[in-house]
Amino acid sequence: MTVAVYPGSFDPVTLGHVDIIRRAAKMFDRVVVAVGINMEKKPWFTVEERKELLRSATNDIENVEVVDFEGLLVDFARQYGSCVILKGLRAVSDFEYEFQMALTNNKLAPEIETVFLTTSAENMYLSSSIVKQVGILGGDISPFVPQCVHDEIKSRIKQRSKTK
């Protein structure tokens, strides 16, 4: 059984993430979406919230599970019996860091391969930070996030702006 671990901050999940998960679910027996606990210093959404949003965005895909992780990614991957670390690649800007990480992880755990899926053309520009910026400025985020998480995200953006 091939298990792929797809790590990220997913703060919040976008259509770009869901596209990568959907395509990966066709390639691997099991896709473990791993929400990093310490990946960003000041996330907008708690780990529990990020997992909840990811679960509703992927609940129609059978072989996907969403968990959190902390610490070294290769240790986490080993723990899940995974031999694949899955990454999405948008533009050239993602490449240098991801290339460095892939080589580092390969040194740490040569039995684990990093697999890159290129973004779909329509999601190329999309990131969680862009969604947050548009949302906080009152823009329509529906083209960027799954419909089932749209309202949830909007209401959390509202709560957030009230407490500021």
Question: Residue 30 or 33: which CB sits closer to ligand ADP?
Answer: 33
Residue 32 found at the interface with ligand ADP (CB under 6 A): no
Please say whether the beta carbons of 33 and 64 come within 8 A: yes
Number of residues in contact with ligand ADP, rule: CB under 6 A? Answer: 17
Cα–Cα distance measured from residue 109 to residue 6, given in angstroms and rounded to the nearest whole number: 16
Q: Binding segment for ligand ADP among 7-15, 41-49, 54-62, 101-109 (CB under 6 A)? A: 7-15
Please name the residues in contact with 7: beta carbons below 8 A apart, sequence gap of 6 or more: 34, 36, 39, 69, 73, 76, 85, 87
Near ligand ADP in 103-122, by CB under 6 A: 119
Q: Tell me which residues in 37-96 interact with ligand ADP (CB under 6 A).
A: 87-88, 90, 94
Distance CA 150, CA 164 (A): 21
17 makes contact with ligand ADP (CB under 6 A): yes
- Helix axes 147-162 and 47-58, enclosed angle (nearest 10): 160
- Give the residue, chosen from 127, 136, 148, 160, that forms a contact with ligand ADP under the rule CB under 6 A: 127
- Binding span for ligand ADP by CB under 6 A among 22-30, 70-78, 99-107, 124-132: 124-132
Active-site amino acid positions: 17, 41, 90, 128
Which CB sits closer to ligand ADP, 86 or 162? 86
DSSP state of 109: -
Q: Closest separation between CB of residue 5 and ligand ADP, Å?
A: 11
Amino acid in the structure at residue 88: G
Read off φ and ψ for residue 138, nearest 5 degrees.
Answer: 85, 10
CA dist 152 and 54 (Å) reads 12
Q: Which is nearer to ligand ADP, 21 or 30 (CB)?
A: 21
Residues forming contacts to ligand ADP in the complex (CB under 6 A) are 8-10, 14, 16-17, 20, 87-88, 90, 94, 119, 123, 126-129
